[in-house]
Amino acid sequence: MKISEEKIVSLQEKAAAIRSSVVSMLIEAKSGHLAGALGMADILAYLYFYKLKHNPKNPKWIYRDRLVLSNGHICPVLYASMAHAGYFPVSELDTLRKFGSRLQGHPHRDFLPMLETSSGPLGSGLSQTIGMTLADRIDNGKSSGRQFYCLMSDGELDEGNSWEAIMLAGKEKIQNLTVIIDRNNIQIDGFTEDIMPLNPLVDKWRSFNWHVQEVNGHDFVEIDKAVSEGKSRFDKPSVIIAHTIPSKGIPSFERKFEWHGKVPSTPEEIRTAKKVI
């Protein structure tokens, strides 16, 4: 079923609230990763407030879908989405990166058990997600009804282990796996195509036997159509290459790799960032 106009408006509002929280958290923490977190807010809003089968009041509900954030450095957007969805109080977001906080600079499930995994070392989340899908297959058979989502970044694809995982999922024809790539064209100190070209990215994934789609990562209709189409393929895992704008919502910071891991610090930058939409 097509996502309704009404739902789209409410997702846009959620994404705006998440972006605003991300900016406040980072300014309060005085460190963290801005660009990727803002760029993925629409996708996280879509998942937490529309697509995921989950229950924030019962995080370990056995039939829940699983969401793994492999590019753990953008966790402010994960924490903000989880808080707004009701997993923990929104006020706790202010503790990001503080001593003793559950909200570590990279997600740590010993501190925050409602996370599916710890992450931060890039390139390992997809292998972990595939492990979960294979365990699920052993326990519950091929159509367990659970969907496994793994969010990855483009810079993360420089990690060789990613490609071992991509190869394995193709071989195993994991039907209930959806990978969403944050294709924002930046990594820590430059543009991906200058540092380690990934293109032709669609052809690469396709040649590893995945169902591949490209979307505008800020368009809920496109995102929803692609997620649904991927889920309907029973012969292949699905990857959605989501074209996103790094630092989305703060026009003068957008598309600049310098904001990968930088935080607004001067009074002018803070004023500008707080106007995030």
Ligand X SMILES: Cc1ncc(C[n+]2csc(CCOP(=O)(O)OP(=O)(O)O)c2C)c(N)n1
Residues that bind ligand X (CB under 6 A): 33, 35-36, 71, 73-74, 120-123, 153-156, 159, 184, 186-188, 246, 260
155 binds Mg ion (CB under 5 A): yes
CA-to-CA distance for 150 and 211, rounded, in angstroms? 15
Cβ of residue 53: shortest distance to ligand X, in angstroms? 27
Nearer to Mg ion, 65 or 154 (CB): 154
> What values do phi and psi take at 153, rounded to 5?
-110, 170
The dihedral built from the CA positions of residue 216, 125, 113 and 92, taken in this order, carries a sign that is negative
Cβ of residue 138: shortest distance to ligand X, in angstroms? 29
Nearer to ligand X, 47 or 198 (CB): 198
153 binds Mg ion (CB under 5 A): yes
Tokens coding 274? 């707080």
One-character DSSP codes across the chain: -PPPHHHHHHHHHHHHHHHHHHHHHHHHHT-S--HHHHHTHHHHHHIIIII----TTSTT-TT--EEEESSGGGHHHHHHHHHHHTSS-GGGGGGTT-TT-SS-SS--TTT-TTSS----STT-HHHHHHHHHHHHHHHH-TT-S--EEEEEESGGGGSHHHHHHHHHHHHHT-TTEEEEEEE-SEETTEEHHHHS---SHHHHHHHTT-EEEEEETT-HHHHHHHHHHHHT-SSS-EEEEEE--TTTT-GGGTT-GGGSS----SHHHHHHHHT--
Nearer to Mg ion, 51 or 260 (CB): 260
97 binds, among Mg ion, ligand X, none (CB under 5 to 8 A by kind): none
Contacts of residue 162, Cβ cutoff 8 Å, sequence gap at least 6: 123, 126, 152, 156
Cβ of residue 74: shortest distance to ligand X, in angstroms? 6
Segment contacting Mg ion (CB under 5 A): 39-47, 147-155, 216-224, 247-255?
147-155
237 binds, among ligand X, Mg ion, none (CB under 5 to 8 A by kind): none
Cβ of residue 182: shortest distance to ligand X, in angstroms? 6
Nearer to Mg ion, 59 or 261 (CB): 261
Residue ranges in 185-244 that form contacts with Mg ion under rule CB under 5 A: 186
- From the list 42, 136, 154, 224, which residue makes contact with Mg ion (rule: CB under 5 A)? 154
81 binds, among ligand X, Mg ion, none (CB under 5 to 8 A by kind): none
> What values do phi and psi take at 128, rounded to 5?
-65, -40
Segment contacting Mg ion (CB under 5 A): 21-29, 182-190, 196-204, 207-215?
182-190
Nearer to Mg ion, 74 or 83 (CB): 74
Q: Which residue is nearest to ligand X (CB)?
A: 155
73 binds, among ligand X, Mg ion, none (CB under 5 to 8 A by kind): ligand X
Nearer to ligand X, 34 or 174 (CB): 34
- Residues in contact with Mg ion, total (CB under 5 A)? 5
Could you list the residues that contact Mg ion (CB under 5 A)? 153-155, 184, 186
